[in-house]
Amino acid sequence: MKWCAIFSIVLCPVTLASCISTETVVAPKVEQLRVPEAFTVPCPKADRRKWSTVKDIVGTATANEASLRVCAAQVDGVRRWNAGTGAAK
């Protein structure tokens, strides 16, 4: 009986000491990714001037096409950025 008591007294602290952990657990930091500012600029407004000549019509169509290209480039840039390839080149 004494042998078991001595064995328990010696073994119990050793066993309990292995349960103690000194590791510090750090919670992960949440970082919200945002679209670069260059891609959040509002798209240019459509040209709505009155037409008097064919030159006015062509000028308006050219201006609107350029606005659409700028807006499409912004959307493409956001898509590339979201895909992880970074900002537009």
The model's pLDDT over 1-51, given as tens digits with 9 standing for 90+, comes to: 566 666 666 666 656 556 666 788 888 888 777 777 877 788 888 878 888
Give the containing element (helix H, strand E) for 11: helix 2-17
Indicate whether 89 pLDDT > 70.
no
Per-residue model confidence (pLDDT) at position 54:
92
What tokens appear for 57 in the block? Answer: 């019509």
Start-to-end C-alpha separation, the chain: 81
Per-residue model confidence (pLDDT) at position 3:
62
Please give the model's pTM, rounded to 2 decimal places. 0.50
Per-residue model confidence (pLDDT) at position 25:
83
Question: Would you say 55 and 44 are in contact if contact means Cβ atoms under 8 Å apart?
Answer: no
Q: How many residues appear in the chain?
A: 89
Residues in contact with 38: Cβ distance below 8 Å, sequence separation at least 6, in sequence order: 74, 77, 87, 88
Indicate whether 58 pLDDT > 90.
yes
